[in-house]
Amino acid sequence: MRRLGFVSVAFLCLAGSASAQPIEQVVREFGFTGRWAYLCDRAVSLDNWQRRIEISTTRIAWTDDCGGCQYAQIKYVILSATLPAANRMALRVRREDGPKGTYDFEIIKTDGKIRTVLNQPLDGDTLVRDGVILRSKQETPWFAKCP
């Protein structure tokens, strides 16, 4: 009986890892590539943040930037990515600036726009839940894909 339990657990672990998609495939399938902004035809600013996703041979990273406003660029490296639904991507990322750490994110896409609906540091309080920034009680902004 013990052996059957071990074999069953081992099979489930192998089956789960075999079906996992590579990060780049998930990111591309979701369309999370290139440049995104609140308004693509306006300059990057505090009122018009941009999000840039870069895929290289060594990593997939994204940067949020307000064009030299009082906030520094926010830099993430994607550690894992899944698509729980066609319009939802779950990410585990490592933040490489400011409050460094590992975070879980969920991003939704509707009508070609994306927004963050979850931002949860693994070792801290949730920052965004259900698309609301908990500290300010404001909804997270929508980003449009820029040409």
pLDDT in tens, 66-87: 998 888 899 999 999 999 999 9
Instruction: Give pTM, 2 decimals.
Output: 0.81
What does the pLDDT read at residue 15?
37
Model confidence at 91, pLDDT cuts 50, 70, 90, reads very high
Task: State the burial class of residue 1 (Cβ atoms within 10 Å of its Cβ: 0-12, 13-18, 19+).
Answer: exposed
**pLDDT at position 2:** 47
Confidence check: pLDDT of 9 > 80: no
Give per-residue pLDDT as tens, 102-145: 999 999 999 999 999 999 999 999 999 999 999 999 999 999 99
pLDDT at 57: 84
CA angle 7, 13, 18 (to 5 degrees): 120
Does residue 16 carry a pLDDT above 70? no
- Residue-wise pLDDT for 19-53, tens only, equals 478 999 999 999 999 999 999 999 999 999 999 99
Beta bridge pairs of residue 90: 82, 106
Query: Which pLDDT band holds residue 12 (cuts at 50, 70, 90)?
Result: very low
Q: What pLDDT, on a 0 to 100 scale, did the predictor assign at position 7?
A: 38
- DSSP 8-state secondary structure symbol assigned to residue 89: E
Domain positions in the chain are 21-145
Q: Are 104 and 73 in contact (CB under 8 A)?
A: no
The span from the CA of 131 to the CA of 7, in Å, is 41
Instruction: Round to whole Å and give the CA distance between 147 and 37.
Output: 10
User: What band does 1 get if pLDDT is binned at 50, 70 and 90?
Assistant: very low
